[in-house]
Amino acid sequence: MRQSSLVVVANRLPIDDSTAPDGACEWRRRPGGLVTALHSLLRQAPATWVGWAGGTGPAPTLPDVDGVRMHTVPLTVDDLRDHYEGFANATLWPLYHDAVEQPEHHRRWWEAYQRINQRFAAATADVAETGAVVWVQDYHLQLVPGLLRALRPDLRIGFFLHVAFPPPELFMQLPRRAELLRGILGADLVGFQRAQAAHNFAQLAVRVLGLPATDRQIVVDDRVVRIGSFPVSIDSAEMAALANRADVADRANRLRRDLGSPEQVILSVDRMDYTKGIEQRLKAYSELISDGHVKVRDTVLVQVAVPSRERVGQYQILRERVEREVGRINGEFGRVGEPAIHYLTRPFDRAELAALYRVADVMAVTPLRDGMNLVAKEYVAARVDDTGALLLSEFAGAGAELSQAYLVNPHDLEGLKQGLLAALRARPDHVRKRMRAMRAHLRKHDIHAWARSYLAALDDNGSLLSRLGTTR
Ligand code: ADQ
């Protein structure tokens, strides 16, 4: 078996199958931050990506993508139900996001989580070269670092959590909290989006496992595990270039006309998820209309909400509630050909998304809790003329970085309304000053800087990075 010096392990492979018109099956690179971030690095070393290819049949053998080997891990229908939809998305996801929905606990889900993590660890052990650097991603695979270390103590193992990590009081609810912590602590470096998350993790290591810990390191079995924050980012240059394209500008102008040429457009783009604060935002907007602060003719809201995890009950209920509320608001405040909310559920390609960002005078990103939130960063990167106001939740990781945004507490309805009004009514010179500062920040702290800083910290003797010869 061919082995690699750098292995990325993530629930999904970075490619999707697409069937060509002649029926032939092709594999295409999936768009997305992580893929983009790692792409330029992975191409330069003998690299492998371990993950699930989608589907529930036997694992397909896939061609290399841009020189990166795809190593598939198979999942059955039961695995998907109990591991992905169950433990990952109905136990961990709500618990890690302030328990804004009730986490469910089932022993069968935990068994599946262990089984699938073991499968990923074994697959990784097979493909990693002696002394390789392995980078495990996200909450689906928190046991992999520990399981992999037991199989392959020679490896350098990193773990990065893309989502929020909860305060100890919440994490303590997990029936198998000690096992989960020990799983993550199999890594040499544990990365989080925010410093607060690293602090929460260190406190848990002390409280649950009785380990000596600071916010920078935890000592486990005479091994030092380093912890820290590495805020993920986007390819800001790519988004800016896209937004600058003439066809994207044309599309943005057309969109504005199609919206009835309102004075101001408010935009929100979310995965349909109860953590994103969609219902609270709709309520704030509708109250601003009924209070007479906002007129539908002048100010429209475009809400993009792509359905996700549709087999998980809480997501089905949320979608029904959001759609009922959009219908109510449009029924009450819209007119023929003039809805108050333009509600869209389909996925957009990157150029369409860039055009939407260009149209938005105010971008409302108000999750109740979010590890980072890339949409906020994409909006900033797309505002190439320094206009546009970002309304941002304090509870998104991005809120800790983009302090020049209009920061709001989305649980506070009055505060949310005031924040939205402040963003809508802000003086253009103030808006410009804030946007310019945020764009400067993003140009420096982009996705390449993120991947480089994490890998430099993981590979502290520099052997991988010098082999990669990475300069950007
Ligand atoms: P998510 O919760 O999925 O990510 P987010 O960071 O906002 O949330 O990323 C969503 C991505 O999907 C963005 O790149 C956005 O452009 C894209 N997207 C949304 N709607 C779309 C549409 N209709 N069409 C096309 N693309 C669309 C998790 C964590 C976050 C963390 C990221 C990355 O929950 O907190 O920021 O991982 O670490």
Tokens of 117: 């993590």
Could you tell me the distance, in angstroms and rounded to a whole number, from the CA of residue 373 to the centre of ligand 1? Answer: 6
Backbone angles phi, psi at 162, to 5 degrees: -80, -25
Q: What angle do CA 287, 295, 335 make, to 5 degrees?
A: 95
pLDDT at residue 25 in the model: 61
Could you tell me the distance, in angstroms and rounded to a whole number, from the CA of residue 349 to the centre of ligand 1? Answer: 13
pLDDT at residue 399 in the model: 97
Lowest mean pLDDT, pick from 66-75, 110-119, 126-135, 243-252: 66-75
For 328-347, write each residue's pLDDT tens digit.
999 999 999 899 999 999 98
Instruction: Share the mean pLDDT of the chain.
Output: 93
Higher pLDDT among residues 35 and 63, named by residue: 63
pLDDT at residue 16 in the model: 75
Could you tell me the distance, in angstroms and rounded to a whole number, from the CA of residue 176 to the centre of ligand 1? Answer: 29
Among protein residues, the one whose CA lies closest to atom 9 of ligand 1: 374
Cα–chain center distance at 193: 10
For 129-143, write each residue's pLDDT tens digit.
999 999 999 999 999
Cα–chain center distance at 88: 15
Among protein residues, the one whose CA lies closest to atom 37 of ligand 1: 162
Tokens of 404: 């020049």
Ligand 1 site-directed mutation target among 374, 375, 393, most atoms within 8 Å of CB:
374
Tokens of 306: 């792509």
Q: What is the mean pLDDT of residues 100-123?
A: 98
Could you tell me the distance, in angstroms and rounded to a whole number, from the CA of residue 444 to the centre of ligand 1? Answer: 21
For 154-188, write each residue's pLDDT tens digit.
999 999 999 999 999 999 999 999 999 999 999 99
Could you tell me the distance, in angstroms and rounded to a whole number, from the CA of residue 213 to the centre of ligand 1? Answer: 32
Residue 269 alpha carbon, nearest atom of ligand 1: 20
**pTM (2 decimals)?**
0.95
Could you tell me the distance, in angstroms and rounded to a whole number, from the CA of residue 279 to the centre of ligand 1? Answer: 18
Tokens of 43: 């191409």
Q: Are 468 and 5 in contact (CB under 8 A)?
A: no
Residue 376 alpha carbon, nearest atom of ligand 1: 7
Counting Cα atoms < 13 Å in the Cβ hemisphere of 192 gives 23
Residue 28 pLDDT greater than 70, yes or no: no
Could you tell me the distance, in angstroms and rounded to a whole number, from the CA of residue 126 to the centre of ligand 1? Answer: 31
Ligand 1 site-directed mutation target among 36, 96, 269, most atoms within 8 Å of CB:
269
Could you tell me the distance, in angstroms and rounded to a whole number, from the CA of residue 372 to the centre of ligand 1? Answer: 9
pLDDT at residue 472 in the model: 38
Residues with C-beta less than 6 Å from any ligand 1 atom: 33, 162-163, 232, 269, 271, 304, 306, 347-348, 353, 370-375, 378
pLDDT band at 153 (very low <50, low <70, confident <90, very high): very high
Among protein residues, the one whose CA lies closest to atom 4 of ligand 1: 373
Sheet holding 341-344, edge to edge: 341-344, 299-306, 264-271, 362-365, 389-393, 406-408
Provide the phi-psi class of 131: left if phi over 0, else alpha when psi is between -120 and 50, else beta.
Answer: left
Tell me which amino acid residue 120 is. Answer: F
Residue 40 pLDDT greater than 70, yes or no: no
For 229-260, write each residue's pLDDT tens digit.
999 999 999 999 999 999 999 999 999 999 99
Ligand 1 site-directed mutation target among 96, 236, 271, most atoms within 8 Å of CB:
271
Q: What is the mean pLDDT of residues 195-222?
A: 97
Among protein residues, the one whose CA lies closest to atom 8 of ligand 1: 373
Could you tell me the distance, in angstroms and rounded to a whole number, from the CA of residue 323 to the centre of ligand 1? Answer: 21
Could you tell me the distance, in angstroms and rounded to a whole number, from the CA of residue 325 to the centre of ligand 1? Answer: 23
Residue 398 alpha carbon, nearest atom of ligand 1: 36
